[in-house]
Amino acid sequence: MENILFDYVARYINLSDEEKQIIRELSLTKYCKKGTCVLEAGKKSQDNYFVLKGCLRCYYLIDGEEKTTEFYTELDVLSPPCVKDGTYSDYYISCVEDTVLLVSNPQIEQESFARFPRFEMLCRVISENVAAKTKKELDNFKTSSPEQRYLRLLQERPDLFQRIPQHQLASYLGITPQSLSRLRGRLVKK
Amino acid sequence: MENILFDYVARYINLSDEEKQIIRELSLTKYCKKGTCVLEAGKKSQDNYFVLKGCLRCYYLIDGEEKTTEFYTELDVLSPPCVKDGTYSDYYISCVEDTVLLVSNPQIEQESFARFPRFEMLCRVISENVAAKTKKELDNFKTSSPEQRYLRLLQERPDLFQRIPQHQLASYLGITPQSLSRLRGRLVKK
């Protein structure tokens, strides 16, 4: 499974066989069954995730209702804010499908930087990319209508429409399942 | 003015006098008058910003209307996505006040990493913090009502209410100026 990570990393740096071996020996891979909750709101955690296979969903529980804010699929990096600031998580992370993750933490990362300074560069570039992507998503969400969000999602992440239950997709788009259904109807007629 | 940067950096690493001198010699400081547009939509740019003093506003022009998405004030880091991906900017950045910036770019940063590897660590940590903060903002925006957004802004960035025109604040909160005015009225009565 680690080869998926190595292919991803190869976009930025070419790992030596020694570096690959060390990553393998860290045994970061974790297999989670569909429905597994990998992080609960109100709990602390030090775990950062890299999705090798499957899908994670982040959601808040607000007035007894689940509000889905993000889906993380293959090659996505998920670093919960509670890891960074040492506070309690505001949200839940659960597996929409059987999921294979690489689970890291700041201590492992720090040790790897000490041994392989290039990893620090790698993590800087990935963090910059995650920050830029998140900012774009925030701006998109602020400046678009539900219909525009739906069309963008269909274009950029069409797989989600096969993988995610309708009510979770609707929640993610910031609308009710009924509105999503009507929206689809309108677009089919166009 | 650079001392503001040095105090900020001291949260993460203590710069040597030599490092401080080198940063001074880079002459990154830029003074911009209120109203100056530092980036236009449709233009390319390689500039990243650190706000020493003043306020930058990001906005999109959508159907002839300005849609404000962010304000950057003292000690905020602004790295436009167009710098990262080499594309044309989707938005404008203008100065709400007379503003003093440190303007950097990937080339300057790369050269500084080569000379001072600790800068790479610094930029990694700052990027991680920016990514975590942006994710929190995205989640907050998705999971809160305009009234909740208003109250959070009042708590977390009260200075904006003195510095920013009402119509830009309303746009930032995702509501009309009339709705903002009504919302304030309701909250005063409570």
H, E, C per residue of A27-84: CCEEEECCCCEEECCCCCCCCEEEEEECCEEEEEEECCEEEEEEEECCCCEECCHHHH
A151 located within any domain: no
* Residue A155: both structure tokens together: 């274009």
pLDDT per residue as tens digits for the range A169-190 = 999 999 999 999 999 898 888 7
Give the C-alpha distances (Å, rounded to integers) separating A10 from A3, A7, A13.
Answer: 10, 5, 5
pLDDT: is A152 or B187 the higher one? A152
Domain containing residue B37: CATH number: 2.60.120.10
Q: Tell me whether residue B16 is in a domain.
A: yes
Q: Which residue has the higher pLDDT, B114 or B34?
A: B34
Residue-wise pLDDT for A103-150, tens only, equals 999 999 999 888 888 888 999 999 999 999 999 999 999 999 999 999
Are B79 and A137 within 8 A, CB to CB? no
Q: Is residue A60 part of a domain?
A: yes
Residue B104 lies in a domain: yes
In the prediction, which pLDDT does B106 show? 93
pLDDT of residue A136: 93
Bigger pLDDT: B71 vs B119: B71
- pLDDT-based confidence at A68, cuts 50/70/90? very high
Q: How many domains does chain A have?
A: 1
The answer to whether residue B112 sits within a structural domain is yes
Among A77, A56, A63, smallest CA distance to B131 is for A77
- pLDDT of residue B25 exceeding 90, the answer is no
Whether residue A37 lies inside any domain: the answer is yes
And the tokens for A137? 């998503």
Contacts of B113 in chain A (CB under 8 A): 121
Residue A12 in domain: yes
The alpha carbon of residue B13 is apart from the nearest alpha carbon of chain A, in Å, by 15
- pLDDT (tens digit per residue) in A10-28: 988 888 998 888 888 888 8
Judge whether A123 lies within some domain. Answer: yes
pLDDT value for A64: 94
pLDDT in tens, B142-169: 999 999 999 999 999 999 999 999 999 9
Q: Which residues span the domain enclosing A95?
A: 2-143
- List, in order, residues 6 or more apart from A188 with CB less than 8 Å away: none
Residues of A in contact with B138 (CB under 8 A): 69, 134, 137-138, 141
Res. B190: pLDDT tops 80: no
> Which residue is associated with the tokens 């708590």?
B155
pLDDT score of B22: 85
ipTM: 0.91
Name which of A62, A85, A138 is nearest B138 (Cβ-Cβ).
A138
